[in-house]
């Protein structure tokens, strides 16, 4: 797996970034209005080789890959470059591929002429809006069975005011002179592939534009004060930004995924192109609106630059038409088998492959569940502690498949996060998503690092053999996600300790042997400094476990501790040093989210839509409405997976981690919840049933999703982490 650019690509990006910072500054962007074209900047881009990038080498170009062009577009979007750059890049490539006027191609490469593209067939739509039509001396278009070069005389280029002061123009292409560049199926496929390339370049530009708009808003929120504090401390300001940086990263990664998928010949490559274009058009507009809102009334004034981003975020993609049509297109490509010609993309450094070790453990797990687990056992699996089967758990331990992420020095498999992510795919397929292994791994790690020899002999060995399982005692009735506010007391009692208090949501306590408990040992210091961790036997005298049932078909518990006595040897770490002890569990955090259950829900919904009859005798899956909504969920699944892969990658490679784990969990759980609601609606009333199969699965997904934004830290907690670490906003809580 790799999320890094090559040295050459980083040099390309930095070269264009430096040039555009100087030559497409806000002052220069404003100076280019109202035409929206900066001829001097355009020639400077040409000198750097911008318009030769995608032209084949045999035609005087540089023959570079689509990925490099996307990097240029991201920087152009960030700096609001004044000119039809995406269209010109595509047009230059088409001139090289299809031949024609070599002198025109030379002038385009030199920045002396602008050529644009028409996005619709001139034969059926002769009058159409063309990006850069105001400054283009020619437009490449499809005309029936031909690809033509339409000459645009200056008299046909009529300037008019438009939303973002860009050089757009409405041209009657059918009435202008044309030269046929090429005809037939191959020519049309080349042109169609160029339009797909345009979608990705525009998507990349919108990704860069949105990122800069959000950066401007975050900077403003970090310096503007209200009520005596920076407005970035208000969660009403910071939390929407945290949501949007997830979507901005997701948009960039969708572009990367589309290019990678084209290179790999992936069957979903064409759909991913459509989704990347739709996603970034929608995301950029919402990001710029929210960013402008952060500035308050100042954002409405022309003195501030943020309004430029709000306008340009619409100007770039809307020349094609309604972005929702791209979502419909993705739906047809995913669920109707619609095909598309795709461009040659060249070398792609980005790689989302999890590797050979990941595939090997997947094969082991599939073999295990096929040969070691009965159908009856499988029928009782459940995502919660309710699905725990001691026999299967012990067999997994014997096969070294239970504690995959636990370090080898503790007795685990010691796999990296790529392999663990791959393993979770198989566990989701088999419905063995029981939390026992994860919790027991966490407890085993902490005992190994901080436990006494006695605790290791009496408890750790049982956990590793499967003779004991554990639960977590963090949450309390009045504390929730604020674990540092724990009030369950541990007081010295002779040579040991006495535990008194209550823990809430102690899932699995009814079948567990031990609970890893966070207790209050000192109330005279800062609350996070007066905590100590213990292992508490749940069969000890004074422990009461009462069930708490959820509407998600699971049982959790409230547990009471009344004078429970434990020896000091069951203490973990230093007295009042519980925070340091607890942090050891983070070593097992691999940015896990809910993409697995999201994808399973999507597949169940598509299957059920194929069964449900719609009007006219078609299945629901054949309707545009269903295809759009399924495609939207598919995009959310892809982004959840890509965010998780990025979290895996920074952990394995030791890269800077800007709260990528919390970002993954928060984003995926929120989209799981919203998509579960939507797909329940889409497949209603069938989804009301709890019958076995897709109906019951969608029904359960809707109920299950409600908990995912809560346990493991609420979305609000994770939003604050993302805002502070990912966007540099001031701390939003004391």
Residue 194 confidence (pLDDT) = 98
For 360, list phi and psi in degrees, rounded to 5: -65, -45
> Tens digit of pLDDT for each residue in 379-401?
999 989 999 999 999 999 999 99
Question: 406 and 414 in contact (C-beta within 8 Å)?
Answer: yes
CA 704 to chain centre: 20
What is the strand order of the sheet 138-143 is part of?
115-117, 138-143, 146-151, 178-183
- pLDDT-based confidence at 325, cuts 50/70/90? very high
CA 17 to CA 630: how far, in whole Å?
37
Q: What is the CA radius of gyration of the chain?
A: 29
Q: What does the chain come to in residues?
A: 734
Domain boundaries, the chain: 356-434, 453-588, 595-727
**Start-to-end CA span in the chain (Å):** 38
- pLDDT-based confidence at 433, cuts 50/70/90? confident
β-strand partners of 546: 558
Q: Are strands 146-151 and 127-130 parallel, antiparallel or unpaired?
A: unpaired
Judged against a pLDDT cut of 70, whether residue 733 lies above it is answered with no
> Tens digit of pLDDT for each residue in 2-27?
999 999 999 999 999 999 999 999 99
Question: 723 and 239 in contact (C-beta within 8 Å)?
Answer: yes
Residue whose C-alpha is closest to residue 39's, from 158, 172, 135: 135
CA 537 to CA 469: how far, in whole Å?
11
CA 614 to CA 630: how far, in whole Å?
16
In sequence order, the 6+-apart residues with CB closer than 8 A to the CB of 320 are 119, 199, 326
Residue whose C-alpha is closest to residue 630's, from 663, 605, 665: 605
The architecture that CATH gives domain 453-588 is: Beta Barrel (2.40)
Lowest mean pLDDT among 22-36, 156-170, 449-463, 518-532: 518-532
State what percent of residues in the chain have pLDDT above 70.
98
Question: 498 and 563 in contact (C-beta within 8 Å)?
Answer: yes
Structure-block tokens of residue 511: 């079948």
- ω before 226 within 30° of 0 (cis)? no
Between 3.40.1390.10, 1.50.40.10, 2.60.120.620, 1.20.140.10, what CATH number should domain 595-727 receive? 1.20.140.10
Q: Are strands 489-493 and 496-504 parallel, antiparallel or unpaired?
A: antiparallel
Average pLDDT, the chain: 95
> Tens digit of pLDDT for each residue in 540-555?
999 999 999 999 999 9
CA 690 to chain centre: 31
> Tens digit of pLDDT for each residue in 128-155?
999 999 999 999 999 999 999 999 999 9
Residue 159 confidence (pLDDT) = 94
E-assigned strands of 480-609?
Answer: 489-493, 496-504, 514-520, 531-537, 543-549, 555-567, 571-572
Question: 590 and 661 in contact (C-beta within 8 Å)?
Answer: yes
CA 427 to CA 405: how far, in whole Å?
14
Structure-block tokens of residue 597: 């259950």
Structure-block tokens of residue 658: 């800007």
Question: 583 and 589 in contact (C-beta within 8 Å)?
Answer: no
Question: 662 and 713 in contact (C-beta within 8 Å)?
Answer: yes
Helices of type H across 302-432: 306-315, 324-335, 356-372, 375-379, 390-398, 417-429
Residue whose C-alpha is closest to residue 132's, from 26, 41, 38: 38
- The DSSP secondary-structure symbol of 644 reads H
Mean pLDDT of the region 431-453: 91
- pLDDT-based confidence at 485, cuts 50/70/90? confident
> Tens digit of pLDDT for each residue in 638-654?
999 999 999 999 999 99
Residue whose C-alpha is closest to residue 62's, from 74, 52, 75: 52
> Tens digit of pLDDT for each residue in 577-628?
988 888 766 555 445 789 999 999 999 999 999 999 998 889 999 999 999 9
Half-sphere exposure of 440 (CA within 13 A, CB side): 31
pTM score, whole prediction? 0.96
CA 320 to CA 360: how far, in whole Å?
45
Residue whose C-alpha is closest to residue 66's, from 353, 348, 280: 348
> Tens digit of pLDDT for each residue in 672-688?
999 999 999 999 999 99
In sequence order, the 6+-apart residues with CB closer than 8 A to the CB of 696 are 689, 690
Structure-block tokens of residue 667: 């984003």
């Amino acid at each position: 797996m790799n999320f890094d650019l090559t040295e050459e690509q980083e040099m390309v990006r930095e070269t264009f970034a430096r040039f555009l910072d100087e030559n497409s500054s806000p002052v220069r962007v404003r100076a280019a209005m109202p035409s929206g074209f900066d001829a001097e900047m355009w020639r400077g881009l040409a000198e750097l080789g911008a318009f030769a990038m995608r032209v084949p080498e045999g035609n005087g170009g540089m023959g570079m890959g689509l990925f490099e062009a996307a990097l240029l577009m991201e920087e152009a979007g960030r700096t609001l470059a004044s000119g039809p750059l995406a269209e010109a890049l595509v047009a230059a490539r088409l001139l090289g591929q299809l031949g024609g006027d070599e002198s025109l191609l030379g002038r385009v490469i030199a920045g002396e002429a602008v050529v644009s593209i028409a996005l619709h067939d001139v034969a059926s739509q002769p009058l159409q809006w063309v990006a850069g039509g105001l400054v283009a001396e020619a437009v490449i278009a499809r005309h029936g069975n031909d690809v033509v070069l339409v000459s645009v005389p200056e008299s046909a280029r009529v300037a008019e005011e438009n939303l973002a002061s860009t050089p757009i123009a409405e041209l009657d292409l059918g009435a202008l002179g044309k030269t046929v560049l090429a005809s037939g199926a191959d020519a049309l496929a080349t042109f169609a592939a160029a339009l797909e390339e345009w979608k990705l370049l525009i998507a990349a530009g919108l990704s860069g534009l949105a990122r800069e708009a959000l950066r401007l808003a975050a900077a403003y929120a970090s310096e503007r004060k209200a009520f005596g504090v920076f407005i970035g401390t208000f969660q009403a300001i910071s939390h929407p930004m945290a949501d949007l940086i997830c979507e901005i990263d997701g948009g960039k990664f969708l572009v990367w995924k589309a290019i990678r998928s084209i290179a790999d010949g992936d069957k979903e490559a064409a759909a991913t192109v459509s989704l990347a274009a739709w996603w970034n058009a929608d995301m950029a507009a919402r990001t710029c609106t929210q960013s402008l809102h952060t500035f308050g009334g100042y954002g409405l004034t022309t003195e501030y630059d943020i309004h430029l981003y709000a306008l340009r975020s619409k100007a770039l993609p809307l020349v094609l038409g309604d972005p929702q049509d791209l979502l419909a297109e993705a739906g047809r490509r995913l669920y109707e088998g619609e095909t598309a010609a795709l461009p040659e993309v060249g070398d792609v450094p980005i790689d989302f492959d999890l590797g050979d070790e990941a595939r090997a453990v997947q094969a082991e797990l599939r073999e295990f569940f096929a040969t070691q687990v009965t159908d009856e056992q499988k029928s009782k699996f459940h995502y919660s502690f309710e699905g725990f089967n001691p026999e299967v758990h012990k067999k997994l331990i014997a096969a070294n498949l239970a504690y995959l992420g636990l370090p080898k020095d503790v007795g685990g498999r010691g796999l990296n996060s790529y392999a663990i992510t791959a393993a979770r795919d198989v566990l989701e397929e088999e419905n063995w998503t029981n939390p026992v292994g994860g919790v027991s791994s966490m407890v085993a790690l902490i005992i190994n690092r901080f436990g006494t020899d006695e605790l290791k002999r009496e408890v750790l060995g049982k956990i590793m053999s499967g003779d004991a399982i554990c639960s977590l005692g963090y949450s309390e009735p009045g504390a929730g996600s604020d674990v540092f506010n724990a009030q369950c007391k541990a007081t010295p009692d002779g040579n040991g300790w006495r535990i008194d208090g209550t823990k809430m949501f102690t899932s699995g306590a009814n079948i567990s042997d031990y609970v890893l408990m966070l207790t209050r040992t000192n109330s005279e210091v800062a609350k996070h400094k007066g905590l100590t961790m213990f292992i508490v036997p749940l069969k000890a005298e004074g422990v009461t476990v009462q069930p708490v049932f959820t509407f998600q078909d699971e049982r959790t518990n409230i547990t009471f501790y009344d004078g429970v006595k434990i020896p000091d040897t069951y203490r973990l770490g230093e007295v009042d040093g519980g925070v340091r002890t607890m942090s050891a569990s983070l070593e097992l955090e691999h940015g896990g989210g809910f993409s697995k259950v999201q994808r399973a829900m999507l597949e169940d919904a598509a299957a059920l839509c194929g069964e449900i009859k719609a009007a006219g005798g078609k299945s629901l899956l054949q309707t545009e409405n269903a295809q759009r909504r399924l495609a939207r969920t598919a995009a959310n699944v892809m982004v959840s997976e890509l965010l998780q892969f990025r979290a895996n990658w920074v952990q394995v490679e030791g890269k800077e981690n800007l709260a990528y784990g919390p970002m993954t969990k928060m984003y995926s759980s929120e989209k799981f919840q919203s998509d579960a609601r939507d797909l329940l609606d889409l497949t209603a009333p069938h989804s009301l049933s709890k019958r076995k199969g897709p109906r019951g699965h969608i029904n359960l997904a809707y109920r299950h999703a409600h908990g995912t934004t809560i346990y493991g830290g609420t979305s609000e907690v994770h939003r604050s982490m993302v805002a502070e670490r990912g966007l540099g906003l001031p701390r939003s809580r004391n």
